[in-house]
Structure 1
């Protein structure tokens, strides 16, 4: 697949999935084109979680201290792991991908001569966590640049060349990058890292529910992905998968009563943590399957491509980066040069678009360029993107002044 949609030929938008908009409680006055940031919880999942909250508050002692909570957590974990093709005995439920990353950074036990290798497509909070752990241990965090639009072979070659056997203690790569919406060839990257026995952590925050995945087949030492973005789970639901040789070394960020049980229970049980998002998450998967997951993926990817085309045309963009996988439902449109080149500027522009155009998008500063990121989900329609394309050029023109 070409890394670029040369000629921006996304064609007509896909047919809407009947009734899908009614499954969500989103504000009908806002074009919500940023599912990738926080997801959107379907009404049926909200209700399932509320029933669980009601159960907790009806008898907190019974819920938290009764004999059934851990069994319910294990059952849920096995259900989610099966959906993702992960080993349930090597998986743990965690609140989000960022938590899983910090847990792994703590568990690999960095020393002063070590380094953590990241890419410049990585999520900002992950980079912050890596740098903090490096400061604590005297290790070094280093970044390898991957050009936007690079093919899989070039990506693997650049990462392989950046590895330092004997020094690189951990490699962190995204399966789908947040800022650039690029799908990276994580299986091939993992194989390259393992040539030198370098462990790899895959940040798959955007993968569950967006891409078909067999976690075990990737071969990563650590893999963590959110289910509250694209798998319709309540916010606060993610799955961490750990390869067998690392499981005994996993140290939870908080020690609680299941500590002696070891991984994964010592990671999952955190006393009075709110477990209702996890326990309600299978309802989200049920809804995804009821809609038809393949149909959802096709719809979302096609609609994201359409949105990228019409907004790209409106802004005069010619080279529109393709995410590198046909099912990715996020696309980026490079903004005119000089706009949103820093993170504060990107945040300010995103807020202005929300305020003035009643549209929620993501704006990222990456590589000295502002990138507008669009998502597509079953509740979106082509006219959401058409309206943004109609009014965004004027807003950006005024923003420049």
Structure 2
């Protein structure tokens, strides 16, 4: 079977499954999610063995440590994937929810009801946990899902998808509800870009290159996710001990994910007190620190930052620091370089906090908290399909409700126009 034949065949099967999924009740969907979770845990040994093949490949090809961390599965992470499915099963079923109804002067009753999107294609890189997260959320919202992961995680993705698909069918969901495009050739993605007949939406999860390739080449509608050039601004009226904790967490807790901080902005009034302390802490965490000329004046060993550093999503133990005059200069810098993902201010000044909230254009805006919280689970949505950085059709962490659309329902008693 050719690459195109594989993708088209699976897309057709997904379309057929989606027609049935749209009308399957909550009880069966929830049963499927719970059995999928159980099957993941039952097959932990097989999944870890497959993941070790991928890890060996990654080490041989000298993938950065941050990417290897994304790729790595452990018993704990597999349990986390299973628990995520169980959490999604607890949520209210969004399908069939009536979003409102009004009576028109002519007697027509016009309302809106929530319905599935249909077939969702997910294109992602070296994050095998996305396989389970995406499958669970799509199924809960009545959608079929066609997954295409990165070549670095192909063995892990196969093992996870096999477990999920087997359990889903045994629980009563149609064949083709969860499928993986197994070809790692780029042609497979190119085929998905043009399958408007079978795919209702594409969602890319990964780096800027992947996302832009999908956005620029797909004729299938795209929900853009993920690139995270996130900033934290430490104001002159910040609690510096709090700021230190937040900065270290935002950068170092897990640098290879899109909600980690990439640029730190520091008010000029606190540079002498704050910069030596935070740079020392960052270096103890093996973080390469780059800074503007003003940062170098305070901490000489910091590498000089360039224009490219303000634009970078490092996804690694690297941080750029810039000294700013005040909140207005911080806002100006963020407006210029932000990917509109997650932005934070650390301040004890109520007025400045609200100014930051009001003027920052991003999916998530924080006051006195780490950007690392931009996550479906942390926001109470369960597992997430990704972080949408656009304004249509969803924005921010995409949970179950964001994987639906609406249709109008109209009740009449003989009206004609």
Q: Give the TM-score range, shorter chain.
A: under 0.3
Q: Indicate the structure (1 or 2) with the bigger Cα radius of gyration.
A: 2
- Higher relative CO (CA 8 A, sep ≥ 6), structure 1 or 2? 1
TM (normalized to structure 1)? 0.26
TM (normalized to structure 2)? 0.25
